[in-house]
Amino acid sequence: MTENVTQAIAVRDNGPAAQIEQYRDEYAALMPSHVNPDQWVRMAVGAIRGDVKLVQAAQNDIGAFLRELRTAARLGLEPGTEQFYLTPRKTKGRVVIKGIVGYQGIVELIYRAGAVSSVIVEVVRTHDTFRYVIGRDGKPVHEIDWFGDDRGDMVGVYAYAVMKDGATSKVVVLNRRQVMEAKAKSDSRNSEYSPWNTNEESMWLKTAVRRLAKWVPTSAEYMREQLRAQAEVAGELTGSASAPLPPQPSVELDDEDDGPIDGELEPEGGWPDVAQPGTAA
């Protein structure tokens, strides 16, 4: 009996949640300064413990799971939420964890840049009233009967930002056909775990806000320029326009992939080797 309990504890301690705790400091080193590492780790642990399918997928390839969390940590997004989905994904015959940046995650990156005061992204349904003429209207007029029993099917989606100087960004408007074209480019569209199948409205919103992100500053590009400008004002750059700045994540927002939206950024000294379940860390 004692031996069985000891074995059960060993298995538990090598599970995905324990691995997150083990690499807490490495994740914390990647996070933007405004993110609370303790809260982030609690959310990650809670997300994996709250879903049996996620636990199994993570155990199938614990290294892949921890690498997906690394992307969430570097972006400063909350894992297991609409900022950063954790979804099972079948790869080479087995189910593993895939991290997917959600529409709220992209909105967060836009806000974090500091150039916008608000981001509006909404789905338009059959019984809504929607008016927008390019060149005439500054922004769409979208009227919704909030007390109606049924707004109807989704027929379109739009997104725009109000900048801090009061200007309105480019307005992105997509109809159903355009959203379906974006969906067709997703390699996960046929997966039962894909947000396209589990939370379709959020993916319509994401399709629009990804397009919007091409027209407004995102955290990487905008903050890099802000840092340079601040340094110039402070006299910290000695006339060299190419003086090095702290590394910033590079955000790519194309429509062809619903996975992580930027490249890797290794912590100083590299990422530690990840122990597989049942092995020593």
Q: Per-residue pLDDT tens for 104-157?
A: 999 999 998 889 999 999 999 999 999 999 999 999 999 999 998 899 999 999
* 149-201 pLDDT, tens digit each: 899 999 999 999 999 999 999 999 999 999 999 999 987 777 777 888 888 99
Q: Which residue has the tokens 């997509």?
A: 174
- d(CA 173, CA 212) in angstroms, rounded, equals 10
Predicted confidence at residue 193, as pLDDT, reads 77
Predicted confidence at residue 198, as pLDDT, reads 87
* 206-263 pLDDT, tens digit each: 999 999 999 998 765 555 555 566 566 666 544 444 334 333 333 333 344 444 333 3
Query: Partners of 142 in the beta sheet?
Result: 130
Residue 91's nearest CA partner among 199, 197, 188 is: 188
Distances (CA, A) of 164 to 167, 168, 171, 181, 210: 7, 9, 16, 33, 20
Average pLDDT over residues 70-89: 92
Q: Which residues contact 50 (CB under 8 A, 6 or more apart)?
A: 80
Residue 276 is encoded by which pair of tokens? 């597989």
Residue 158's nearest CA partner among 186, 125, 109, 191 is: 125
How high does pLDDT run on average in the chain? 79
Residue 110's nearest CA partner among 99, 124, 121, 100 is: 121
- d(CA 144, CA 151) in angstroms, rounded, equals 8
Which residue ranges make up each domain of the chain? 2-101, 103-270
* 52-69 pLDDT, tens digit each: 989 999 999 999 999 999
Is the pLDDT at 103 greater than 80? The verdict is yes
